[in-house]
Amino acid sequence: FEQGLRLDHVVVASGSSGTHGGLLAGLLGYRFDVPLTGIGVSRDPDDQVPLVQREAQAVLDLLGVSLTVAREMVTCVGGYWQPKYSVPNARMVEAVQLLARTEGILLDPVYTGKAMAGLVGLAREGHFGDGDRVLFLHTGGFPALHAFEQDVLGHTELAP
């Protein structure tokens, strides 16, 4: 940001809430006005938002930053993690294959694959404008691809 990076949106996987909450605290603490969207990988927004809010507040408090994280400052999107945590679904497989094929980027099936499925879904729904600069925060997890090889290659029947 100090080097002039301009972003319109940041998208990240939101699981235990540490990455999402810490990133939100950083954006708020540095007063970077960039919308942050967490794609839930294990629970729906009603359950995820309070966890992220609490995590972000704990980080700000620990750092001595005098800000209060209001519930409306936390954006979580659900609907991409089902049928349950760490169980593959067809949208995740599509997202993993899409990025591997078009960008040479490998995503894991548990976190980044489902988060990218959410980003793709949001884009298809028109959530982002033409020309918007969207940063997807890839948090790793590549070794998990091997555990789900048959699913990711499309050799198994999966829920949508």
pTM attached to this predicted model: 0.88
Mean pLDDT of 105-129: 95
- Using alpha carbons only, what angle is made at residue 55 by residues 39 and 71, rounded to the nearest 5 degrees? 70
Burial label, 144 (beta-carbon count in 10 A; 0-12, 13-18, 19+): middle
Determine the 3-state secondary structure of 150 from DSSP: helix
The percentage of the chain sitting over the pLDDT mark of 70, rounded to a whole number, equals: 91
Whether 115 maps to a domain, the answer reads yes
Mean pLDDT of 111-123: 97
User: pLDDT, tens digit, for every residue of 75-114?
Assistant: 999 999 999 998 889 999 999 999 999 999 999 988 999 9
Check which CATH number belongs to the domain holding 65 and give it. Answer: 3.40.50.1100
Whether 45 maps to a domain, the answer reads yes
Whether 1 maps to a domain, the answer reads no
Whether 123 maps to a domain, the answer reads yes
Whether 2 maps to a domain, the answer reads no
Domain range holding 59?
9-152
The reported pLDDT for the residue numbered 137 is 96
The reported pLDDT for the residue numbered 148 is 65
Whether 35 maps to a domain, the answer reads yes
User: pLDDT, tens digit, for every residue of 38-62?
Assistant: 999 999 999 999 999 999 999 999 9
59 and 27 Cβ atoms separated by less than 8 Å:
no
Whether 158 maps to a domain, the answer reads no
Q: How many domains does the chain have?
A: 1
123 and 98 Cβ atoms separated by less than 8 Å:
no
- Rounded distance between C-alpha atoms, residue 52 and residue 78, angstroms: 14
The reported pLDDT for the residue numbered 142 is 64
